A and B are shown apart, each in its own frame.
Chain A
């Protein structure tokens, strides 16, 4: 166990960005049940059986604590509970709940452990389990890392089963019929004579008994909802403009605010002149905030106009002013003292390189912005006694901490009401905008303040994806891939996040190499080293995090070697694959795409495989080189999530992930000049548009042993599959994103 313990302590850094240290992790604390937060404001006649289910005489409420950024997790969480409770869609309401330690995310620990996802051995599982305990004690409630289904799958079904059995016991007490003779159906307990007693009418009795804890979960063959196509609960609201996002809420007496903070992110305000702004119509207040200025007005547009009219002298950026210097830092990072971790050293790499003709290549992956379509916003009311917050956010506890630092309230005085989000992609794990809203509201105690970032402010303050450089050498032998010696340099996104949260981040950062080291190939000689660059411009989790850069670097180089070996890109990947579920993913996408079939003139196909977040994903991209540029015709995707909770939602998330990966690989990057991002709005950082969008065919497989999420894993293979396809069609290798710097797209 010595080894396991060391690893556990070191890999604790994965989650430390969201944790304030100094907690003891005894077995007692880990095993102790956590209080049900729904008990706090329960009224007479209301029953709650655990942190996820509440019933009164009128309404059944299911709590889904994972935030919905668009990935559909409100519906998926509800389905897990409803399946066990015999509830139909339409019979209950949903809520994100209030922040609570009860909603700790166990699955983050799984992702944080430094083992290949395909490693299900004793040590790997022991460490994952230990990390889960730690996260339970610190109560890290967060949505991210494609963990929502992994975290929820057993917990929420169990919560539903407890509710069902407790309601049956309540019905038994009320009617005298033994529990064993009771059934449940469509939101009611059914007596042997067919009489139906609605759950709501049992709430008062159920409230008086202890929840039944000894329950049996249903067999997959008994599932009514899980695995079947579902109609998302939010679909009508989102198709009629009636579902409110955080930015759409209004509170009585609310004022509108907008901010401008130093576009040299993290820099200071030297001086400012707000005389013009103060005279503008509707302006109520001009305030200084941390690193910037704010205007409070009676209308969002007036606030934005006025804040833009403030003349500000900004301080220096805490990172290099010009882009060349950023790349130079990464270039200088491949030194022994910057080695973060050697993730893999199989076979004899040096002998392998000496034995053949060495192929070398270098790859670049740039800064990219999140830019979800709903700009950052929050409504906050600060009074002496409490703080109330409305916003869409991935980390409720982080929202409370950010506000507490500004206002001095205890976190239990801060009520956070999470909202549906107009996208996030990792943008809404950050808390600067929450801090800004709190600073304004704190200076205007008693008045509800709605802060809305302008799109330009949202772009200027984006904590982007971290940039990466990959260097690789390799050899082939006898028509096969023989040796890969790969090094990847990135700044640590965890260190950047930890720095803002005031939490030190020791040890290696798994996100530098994930997407490269963990692909379950058996390459005879394979070395994979991660180098940690000094911090540059601030970065944060961008959909699929490091795996987007590392996956592009790894699979692109593998493809180059396969071509040098004269092998078939699909057959050689399948031959090298050392993990059954992953091999089936490749074989499936080969079948779906009729790999090896005839292509039209100027067409080319590329395949890529990247495992991230425990999900093996293979994608085939088909392109045509037209006289106006590359046209992406079709994409086929096979992935394995262990259990598909909702096939329609899986397809939608995979299509979206592919489009996200392709769109940004084609045309998006953030570059710095004079310390400021040069891209200020979508015209300069577009992503994919309708006319570029290929047909995308998706298969979700279920051969894996664990339930996994699908929000992020489809992203990493998209860019290398496109680059590999363009090579097949044109002979041109694209080793740097975005590709439109080197080739035109239709």
Chain B
């Protein structure tokens, strides 16, 4: 089957029900998307499907056909970071960093839908993304900084 990832059409030979997470990681070598729980409880595998954050561990490969998949690698790069990624570095959000790809992808959808999110909006959108290190205060601050920057832009 063919799946569009970060603007590129990719051929994969996998079972219809292989989770997109594992198609991305083990078949396509896209490692920014992380395996944390496999049951949509942690959000580490969050990617965009047609512009909306989804848990890639719950999206069957066949479902992804014909959609646009974007991973953290497609959001921005070290040389050309998305406003959220810039804010994440300014606030030094990450500790272990393992959840942060998912956090950033989730936050990107939040800002698409609510360009000026309140604390309650942030809580509602981000509470499905687990951070075991406890970087939540910095995630909140970084989302607000990015929202401001994106409003000014």
Contacts and interface: CB of A to CB of B under 8 A. Distances in A.
Nearest to A425: B132
Contacts of A658: 134
B72 to A, nearest CB: 3
A71 B135 CA distance: 11
B89 A239 contact: yes
Given A256-B26, A373-B98, A236 B137 contact: no
Given A239-B104, A663-B134, A691-B127, A69 B96 contact: yes
Given A235-B89, A248-B31, A242 B41 contact: no
Interface residues of A, number: 66
Nearest to A663: B134
Interface residues of B, number: 61
A445 interface: no
B35 A655 contact: no
Nearest to A685: B41
B37 A682 contact: yes
Contact of A301 (B19, B73, B131): B19
A441 to B, nearest CB: 18
Contacts of A250: 29
A267 interface: no
A686 B127 CA distance: 11
Nearest to A694: B137
A69 to B, nearest CB: 6
A599 interface: no
B27 interface: yes
A663 B132 CA distance: 10
B79 to A, nearest CB: 9
Contacts of B134: 655-660, 663, 688, 693
A232 B92 contact: yes
B133 A238 contact: no
Interface centre among A234, A374, A688, by most chain B C-beta atoms within 10 angstroms, is A374
B46 to A, nearest CB: 11
A33 B79 CA distance: 44
A299 interface: yes
Contacts of B138: 652, 655
A70 B135 CA distance: 11
A653 to B, nearest CB: 7
Given A239-B100, A682-B42, A689 B37 contact: no
B85 A239 contact: yes
A281 B15 contact: yes
B97 A693 contact: no
A657 B88 CA distance: 20
A689 B132 contact: no
Contact of B98 (A374, A454, A663, A682): A374
A225 B129 CA distance: 34
Interface in A378-429: 420-425
A51 B129 CA distance: 40
B31 A688 contact: no
Contact of A372 (B22, B71, B81, B96): B96
Nearest to B84: A239
B117 to A, nearest CB: 12
Nearest to A242: B78
B130 interface: yes
B115 interface: no
A649 B96 CA distance: 12
A116 to B, nearest CB: 29
A240 B101 CA distance: 7
Interface string B26-53: 1101011111111101101000000000
A420 B31 CA distance: 14
Contact of A241 (B31, B124, B128, B139): B31
A308 to B, nearest CB: 11
A681 interface: yes
Contacts of A690: 122-123, 126-127, 129, 131, 136, 139-140
B93 interface: yes
A689 B129 CA distance: 8
A422 B27 contact: no
Contacts of B136: 659, 688-690, 693
Contacts of B123: 690-691
A72 B109 CA distance: 29
A236 B90 CA distance: 10
Contacts of A13: none
B133 to A, nearest CB: 5
B149 interface: no
Contact of B25 (A300, A304, A375): A300
A422 B22 contact: no
A452 interface: yes
Contacts of B9: none
B41 to A, nearest CB: 4
B94 interface: yes
A421 B136 CA distance: 19
B77 interface: yes
A238 B129 CA distance: 16
Contacts of B32: 240-242
Contacts of A319: none
Given A655-B134, A663-B134, A300 B26 contact: yes
A644 interface: no
B20 to A, nearest CB: 10
Contacts of A70: 94-98, 133
A455 B73 CA distance: 24
Given A69-B96, A71-B95, A683-B39, A240 B132 contact: no
Given A371-B132, A652-B92, A240 B22 contact: no
Contacts of A343: none
A29 B139 CA distance: 49
Given A656-B135, A659-B136, A681-B41, A422 B98 contact: yes
A373 B77 contact: no
A191 interface: no
B76 interface: yes
Interface centre among B15, B33, B34, B98, by most chain A C-beta atoms within 10 angstroms, is B98
Interface in A436-489: 452, 454-456
A334 to B, nearest CB: 34
Contact of B34 (A72, A231, A422, A688): A422
A300 B33 CA distance: 14
Nearest to B99: A373
Nearest to A241: B32
Contact of B132 (A373, A454, A691): A373
Contacts of A245: 98
A425 B135 CA distance: 15
Interface string A633-664: 00000000000000011001101111110010
B18 interface: yes
B94 A686 contact: no
A235 B26 contact: no
Nearest to B14: A299
A619 to B, nearest CB: 14
Q: Top 3 closest A-B pairs, CB basis?
A: A241-B32, A70-B96, A659-B134
Given A242-B78, A656-B95, A682-B37, 8 more contacts: A70-B133, A235-B92, A238-B94, A238-B97, A300-B25, A373-B36, A375-B36, A653-B95
20 contacts: A70-B96, A72-B95, A236-B81, A237-B97, A239-B81, A239-B85, A240-B77, A240-B81, A242-B77, A247-B35, A300-B22, A301-B21, A373-B42, A373-B44, A423-B95, A424-B96, A655-B138, A682-B41, A688-B134, A688-B136
